[in-house]
C-alpha cells in the first residue's frame, strides 16, 4: 500500500490535512537526521503522533508545523521523540544476559580484568542498562576492585528521563531473577508499593545520555560489550552496515556485539566470530 492509499483510509477521521507530500517530507527528514527509515505502513502512526504535537502547539496545519520544527530546537526534539518507537523490557532476550553472567563475567574475572565498559545503544526507558547493571552487581562487579561503567544512550529525551529516574511498575519487574532483583531494586512503600526503584548502586554506574547514532560517538576507550538490539531494524541496510562497522571499531579485542533476534550483521560477519543467538565477538 502506498502513502496516498494509506492517507485515504484515514481521511474521514483526520483532524488536520495531511498530504502524501507531507509524509514524504517526514520520511526524508527522519532518514537524513536520524537514519530511521519510515515505511508507508507507518503513515497512520506518523499522522496520529504528530497530530498531538499540532494540538499542543496550537498550529492547525503541517506546513506551519514543519516551519516550527526547522526553527525551534525544542520542537525539533519533540518531533523526533514523537516518531521514535520505544519497546523494551527487563531481561529481554534472556540468553544474552545468561551469556554475560555465565561466560563474559567469568572471563573477565579469570583475566583479572577490572575496567569494564559497556554500551547500551538505544536503551529506551532503561530496562536494558539496568538489567546489565543488576547482572554485574550479582557477581560483585559494581564494587571495588572493579571499575564498571555503562553508557546508556537513546535518541528520545523523554525515555532517557524515565531511565534516569529508575522507577518501574512491579508487573514489569516480575521477569527479573531473584538474585538480580535483590541486588538491584527496592520496593516502594505505602502508596508506592506497586513500584520498584533501582538501587543507587546500579544508578551510579549508568550514565544516560542523548545520542543520535548517525552523529559522533563519545567513547574514549575500547568497549567490552555493545548492546544494540532491535534498533537497526528501523534503518536501511546501508546504514546498518555502517553502524556495525563503527561498533566493530569501538569494541576492544574479545569484545561482544549483541543485536536483536531479527537482525543480522550481513557482510560485516567476516570481521566477527559468530557465537550464535545474535552474539558476535571481535577477535
Q: Which three cell numbers stand for residue 275?
A: 557465537
Q: Which three cell numbers stand for residue 141?
A: 562487579
Asked if 49 is an active-site residue, the reply is: yes
| Listed residue (86, 146, 103, 119) closest to 257, CA to CA | 119
Asked if 117 is an active-site residue, the reply is: no
Q: Could you say which of 22, 53, 154, 156 is catalytic?
A: 154
| Listed residue (144, 253, 251, 255) closest to 205, CA to CA | 144
Helix (H) or strand (E) holding 118: strand 115-121
Rounded CA gap, 50 and 265, in Å?
A: 33
DSSP category for residue 235: B
Rounded CA gap, 218 and 22, in Å?
A: 34
| Listed residue (282, 251, 250, 276) closest to 264, CA to CA | 276
Distances in whole angstroms, Cα of residue 136 to Cα of each of 203, 246, 253: 12, 25, 20
Q: Could you say which of 14, 49, 92, 164 is catalytic?
A: 49
Indicate which residues carry an active-site annotation: 49, 154
Amino acid at each position: 500500500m502506498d502513502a496516498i492509499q494509506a492517507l485515504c483510509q484515514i481521511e474521514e477521521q483526520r483532524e488536520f490535512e495531511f498530504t502524501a507530500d507531507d509524509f514524504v517530507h517526514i520520511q526524508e527528514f527522519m532518514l537524513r537526521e536520524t537514519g530511521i527509515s519510515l515505511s508507508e505502513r507507518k503513515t497512520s502512526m506518523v499522522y496520529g503522533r504528530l497530530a498531538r504535537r499540532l494540538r499542543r502547539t496550537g498550529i492547525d496545519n503541517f506546513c506551519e508545523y514543519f516551519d516550527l520544527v526547522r526553527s525551534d530546537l525544542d520542537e525539533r526534539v519533540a518531533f523526533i521523540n514523537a516518531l521514535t518507537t520505544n519497546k523494551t523490557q527487563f531481561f529481554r532476550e534472556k540468553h544474552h544476559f545468561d551469556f554475560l553472567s555465565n561466560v563474559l563475567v567469568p572471563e573477565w574475572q579469570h583475566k583479572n580484568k577490572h575496567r569494564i565498559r559497556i554500551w547500551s545503544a538505544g536503551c529506551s526507558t532503561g530496562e536494558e542498562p539496568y538489567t546489565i547493571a543488576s547482572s554485574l552487581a550479582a557477581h560483585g562487579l559494581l564494587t571495588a576492585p572493579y571499575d564498571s561503567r555503562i553508557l546508556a544512550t537513546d535518541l528520545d529525551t523523554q525515555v532517557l528521563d524515565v531511565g534516569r529516574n529508575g522507577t518501574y511498575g512491579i508487573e514489569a519487574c516480575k521477569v527479573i531473577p531473584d538474585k538480580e532483583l535483590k541486588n538491584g531494586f527496592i520496593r516502594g512503600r505505602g502508596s508506592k508499593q506497586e513500584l520498584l526503584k533501582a538501587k543507587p548502586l546500579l544508578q551510579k554506574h549508568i550514565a544516560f545520555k542523548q545520542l543520535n547514532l548517525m552523529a559522533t560517538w563519545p567513547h574514549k576507550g575500547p568497549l567490552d560489550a555493545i548492546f544494540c538490539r532491535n534498533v537497526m531494524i528501523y534503518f536501511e541496510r546501508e546504514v546498518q552496515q555502517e553502524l556495525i562497522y563503527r561498533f566493530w571499531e569501538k569494541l576492544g579485542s574479545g569484545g561482544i556485539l549483541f543485536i536483536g533476534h531479527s537482525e543480522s550483521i550481513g557482510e560485516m560477519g567476516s570481521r566477527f566470530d559468530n557465537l550464535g543467538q545474535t552474539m558476535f565477538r571481535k577477535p
